[in-house]
Structures are given as C-alpha cells and as structure tokens.
Amino acid sequence: MKHYQVAIIGTGPAGLTAAIYASRALLTTVIFEGMQPGGQLTITTEVENYPGFPNGIKGPELMELFRQQAQKFGTVTLFETVKAVDFSQHPFKLVTDANEEYSADAVIIATGASARRLHAKGEDIYWGFGISACATCDGFFYKNQKVYVIGGGDSAMEEALYLTHFASTVTIIHRRDEFRASKIMVQRAKENPKIDFLLNTVVEEFLGEEKRGIKKLTHIRVRNLITNEEGILPADGVFYAIGHTPNTEIFKPFIETDANGYILTKGKSSYTNIPGVFACGDCQDPTYRQAITAAGSGCIAAIDAERWLSEHYSKLK
C-alpha cells in the first residue's frame, strides 16, 4: 500500500491550492482527481473574477495552471476516484475506483459540490452557454438581457436581486405559488421593478442556436402546472437556484456534516471532527462558493495539516 504524508481528495481550486502548499512544505503529497479533474471551473468558459488575470481566463486553462504548479513542487496527481475511506484508524486508509489502497498521515477533503439540476430537455446542451448556477460568477455577462431564476427559496430571491444590477428583466420561475424563502426576501423581490414572477410553472425545455460553433440559449419552453398550458419564451440566461449537493457521502460514517451534507469545520479553521482530517472548498461552504474562496480555504487546510503533522507526527509514528 502506497503511503503519503498528505492525501488530498479533489482537484478543484481548493484541493490543488492545498497541494501547492503541502508539497511546497516538503510533505509527500498525493491528490486524487475524481470524476471531474480540475473541478467545476472546467465546465465554464470565461473566468473574469479570479485575481491575476485582468483579461480573464478560460476555466479549464486556469485549472491546468493550478495543476502544473502543484506538480512542480512534487504533488503526485492520480486520475482515480476515492470510493471509500477509513478514518477510524491511523494512518488513514483510502480505497479508489482502481481498487488501489493508499494510506496517509493527514487527509484533506476538497470534493466540492454539484449544483442540482432539473434534467430538462436541452439542459446538457446549454449548461454553461446560457444556463448557470451562479449569479455572482456569470451575472456580469447578462447586461441588459432577459434572464430567469429558477427556485423559490432565499437563494432564488438573492440571485434574482443580484441579477437586477445587470439584466433588463429577471423572472423568477417557481413550481408552486408559495415560497420557501423568508417573507422579507420575497417582499424585496416583489418590490423590485425589474423582477416579475412566473408561478406554478416549470421549465420543460431549453432551446437555442449554434453560430460559428458557439452554442447560445435563446428560448425556454415552460408549462403551467395548474392549466397544463405551454409557452415558449425568449431567454438570454437562466440561473438555477435549486440548491447544491456537497460531494461528501463517502465521508459520512466518520465526518460530521450539517443537515444538507456540508462538512462542519471548526471556527475559521479547516479542522473536522476527526483530528488529522481537514476540509476545504465548496464541500464545507454553503455560502460563498467561489474559486478564490475555495483556493483560500485550500491554503488554510494545507497549513492546518502541516502544523497538525509537525505537532503530532512523532507521537503517531
């Protein structure tokens, strides 16, 4: 069984930043790429808010630079998905989908989160080309355009209000006529002249066009759940606000999470309930969910792991 001082699970901004710091601290470091090497940014085109790139950078390109930087300091990158962990013994054990076993003195969980999908027709085609799950990331691209927000919770109201800074109109589509969102948030949305509502309604299909090889959402097909009436509406952008699922299932026997599955970390640190296991990025952050905050928390996790190892290593050996 191969042994490393630090095993990092996930190669998004959080995991790869942790890898840069851990390997630069001269810890033997392995990182598991999982089912989405490079993480969520690999499914977006332009990233305009990551500092250091005044002209923007393509998501996949940014993540390749992260990876190269980690490898430069000695991080071993493995295209394997961790399918099981055993945090009840030390060194910790990890088993991958290649049926390989690894042991590690410290583990950093950076498995991210996935936006929930509707699985409507055309969604896969226009995801990232008019459909987004992050107004902070993509709102700027929709100046003076017609956008929709799907959802009925606080985050739907927040996303809609945020989008009014850019879009000409924002329509909130919700499958019911009552909202999970707090009254104050609904009221704020209702009072905003740019926001309107399409209630008891679902999106059945995303429609668009392809020009010179570039896909673009142009319309949505909606259905009223009471009348069953359908309509096709012009749409420049659609923002999902129906929640995210943190990729934390395999850790649950050992690691404490909140009710939604987000890993609980202690205070401003990356410490989990298991000493020697740390968490960073979107898998422990239901609030900010940005590349820069994920990277920042990856740095925190590596520093926490390094300090924890230097404090405990001699006792553990």
Ligand X SMILES: Cc1cc2nc3c(=O)[nH]c(=O)nc-3n(C[C@H](O)[C@H](O)[C@H](O)COP(=O)(O)OP(=O)(O)OC[C@H]3O[C@@H](n4cnc5c(N)ncnc54)[C@H](O)[C@@H]3O)c2cc1C
Residue span binding ligand X (CB under 6 A) among the ranges 21-29, 35-43, 147-155, 269-277: 35-43
Q: Please list, in sequence order, all residues whose beta carbon lies within 8 angstroms of the beta carbon of residue 152, skipping any fewer than 6 positions away.
A: 172, 174, 175, 176, 178, 179, 180, 181
Q: Which of 86, 97, 134, 154 is catalytic?
A: 134
Assess 134 for contact with ligand X (CB under 6 A). yes
Q: Which of 5, 21, 39, 104 binds ligand X (CB under 6 A)?
A: 39
Residues with Cβ within 8 Å of 280's Cβ and at least 6 positions away in sequence, in order, are 14, 15, 18, 108, 109, 110, 270, 294, 297, 298, 300, 301
With beta carbons less than 8 A apart as the criterion, state whether 67 and 38 touch: yes
Number of other residues whose CB lies within 10 A of the CB of residue 180: 15
Q: Would you call 177 a catalytic residue per the annotation?
A: no
The answer to whether the bond into 91 is cis (omega within 30° of 0) is yes
Q: Does 35 bind ligand X (CB under 6 A)?
A: yes
Residue from 137, 236, 280, 282 carrying the catalytic annotation: 137
Site size toward ligand X, by CB under 6 A = 41
Which residues in the 271-310 window bind ligand X by CB under 6 A?
Answer: 281-282, 289-292, 294
The torsion angles phi and psi of 169, rounded to 5 degrees, stand at: -140, 150
Report whether 117 contacts 123 (CB < 8 A): yes
Catalytic residue flag (residue 280)? no
Q: Is 111 in the site for ligand X (CB under 6 A)?
A: yes
Site string for ligand X, 62-101 (x = CB under 6 A): -------------------xx-------------------
| Contact range with ligand X by CB under 6 A, out of 65-73, 104-112, 186-194, 205-213 | 104-112
One of 30, 108, 112, 309 touching ligand X (CB under 6 A): 112
Q: What's the rounded Cα separation, in Å, for the pair 295 and 16? A: 8
Which among 19, 2, 4, 1 has a CA at the least distance from the CA of 294? 19
Quick one: which of 23, 29, 36, 270 contacts ligand X (CB under 6 A)?
36
The burial of 304, by beta-carbon neighbours within 10 Å (0-12 exposed, 13-18 middle, 19 or more buried), is given as: buried
Please confirm, yes or no, whether 196 is among the known catalytic residues. Answer: no
Contact range with ligand X by CB under 6 A, out of 43-51, 64-72, 187-195, 211-219: 43-51
Nearest to 57 by CA among 68, 73, 72, 41: 41
Catalytic residue numbers, as ranges: 134, 137-138
Footprint of ligand X (CB under 6 A):
9-15, 32-37, 39-41, 43-44, 47, 49-50, 81-82, 110-112, 115, 128, 132-134, 137, 247, 250, 281-282, 289-292, 294
